[in-house]
Amino acid sequence: MSDTTIVRPVADPPAIRGVTYPEDPRAERVQKITMLVVTILPLVGVVTAMIQLWGWGITPVDLSIFVGFYVLTGLGITVGYHRLFTHKSFNAPTPVRVFWAVAGSLAVQGSVIDWVATHRRHHAFSDEFGDPHSPHLDAADGIKGVFRGLYHAHLGWMFNTETTSRETWAPDLLQEDAIVRIDRAFPKLIIATFVLPAVIGGLVTMSFWGAVSAAIWGGLVRMFLLHHVTWAINSICHFYGTRPFESRDEARNNPIMALLAFGEGWHNAHHAFPASARHGLRWWEFDASWITIRAMQLVGLARDIKLPSPRQLERKTRRVRRAAA
The pLDDT tens digits for 121-172 are: 999 999 888 889 888 876 566 677 777 887 788 887 887 778 889 999 999 9
In whole angstroms, give the CA distance from residue 166 to residue 114: 6
* Separation in Å, CA 135 to CA 31, 38, 121, 131, 204: 21, 21, 15, 9, 44
DSSP 15: P
* Length, in residues, of the chain: 325
In whole angstroms, give the CA distance from residue 146 to residue 152: 10
- Average pLDDT over all residues of the chain: 85
CB neighbours of 199 closer than 8 A, spacing ≥ 6?
Answer: 211
Q: What is the β-pairing status of strands 163-164 and 19-20?
A: antiparallel
3-state helix, strand, coil in the chain (%, to 5): 65, 5, 35
| Under 8 Å between Cβ of 90 and 306 | yes
In whole angstroms, give the CA distance from residue 115 to residue 224: 18
pLDDT digits (tens, 9 = 90+) for 53-81: 655 667 889 989 999 999 999 999 999 99
3-class DSSP assignment, residue 129:
coil
In whole angstroms, give the CA distance from residue 213 to residue 324: 53
pLDDT, position 118: 95
Q: What is the pTM of this model?
A: 0.84
| Under 8 Å between Cβ of 61 and 214 | yes
pLDDT, position 15: 52
CB neighbours of 143 closer than 8 A, spacing ≥ 6?
Answer: none
3-class DSSP assignment, residue 82:
helix
Q: Which of 164, 195, 207, 221 is nearest to 48 (CA)?
A: 221
pLDDT < 50: residue spans in the chain: 1-14, 21, 31-32, 35-36
pLDDT, position 101: 98
| Under 8 Å between Cβ of 230 and 202 | no
| Under 8 Å between Cβ of 100 and 73 | no
Sign, Cα dihedral of 184, 187, 190, 195: negative
CA angle 152, 86, 307 (to 5 degrees): 115
3-class DSSP assignment, residue 67:
helix
Number of alpha helices (DSSP H) and beta strands (DSSP E) in the chain = 15, 2
Sign, Cα dihedral of 281, 282, 283, 285: negative
C-beta neighbour count of 141 within 10 angstroms: 10
pLDDT, position 18: 59
| Under 8 Å between Cβ of 49 and 66 | no
